[in-house]
Amino acid sequence: MTRVVLFGVLAVLAAVPAYSQSAAASNQAVLKEYRALDQAQFKKDRATMERLMASDYSYTHSNGAVNDKAADIKETMSEDIKWTDTKSDDVKVRMYGNVAVVTGEVTLTGTAKNYVPGPRRFTEIWVKRGGRWQNVGGQTTLVPAK
């Protein structure tokens, strides 16, 4: 009986590094896609946005607008959006199986109709579907001036 328990404990301990490695790999995969989507929006890269935004995407922006995938892409591609720089800080990923919650702060520089430049906190939800990560939505909130 003692051997069975000992082997069980050893099996669990042996699995922990493998689990940690797969969790770290998932975190990195989500961060890579988050950064790719952030840059695609900044550079007006429609193809990357189409690939990384889920068909059921819904986002609540810092100005209160709620956009689905088509509306977000259309708005991003318009001449009304002229961001000149984007910078992300304090980005964290929490994994829940095939769901990832990404939080952080993004600072936008430039101009955009109906938006103010500056820092905003964000929360994004990413889901792994068909072996790839897609953003299903999120929310941004302006950071108050100090």
> What is the per-residue pLDDT across 31-81, written as a single tens digit (0 to 9) for each?
999 999 999 998 999 999 999 999 999 999 999 999 999 999 999 999 999
Instruction: To the nearest 10°, report the CA torsion of 16, 18, 19, 25.
Output: 140
Domains held by the chain: number: 1
Q: For residue 127, give its domain range.
A: 2-142
Helix ranges (H only) for the chain are 2-43, 46-52, 69-77
pLDDT band at 146 (very low <50, low <70, confident <90, very high): confident
Q: Which of 8-17, 54-63, 129-138 has the lowest mean pLDDT?
A: 8-17
Q: For residue 47, give the CATH number of its domain.
A: 3.10.450.50
How far is residue 119's CA from residue 89's CA, in Å, rounded to a whole number? 10
Residue 7 pLDDT greater than 60, yes or no: no
Task: Decide if 17 contacts 107 (C-beta within 8 A).
Answer: no
Structure tokens at 136: 């299903």
Q: Which of 1-10, 36-45, 85-94, 102-111 has the lowest mean pLDDT?
A: 1-10
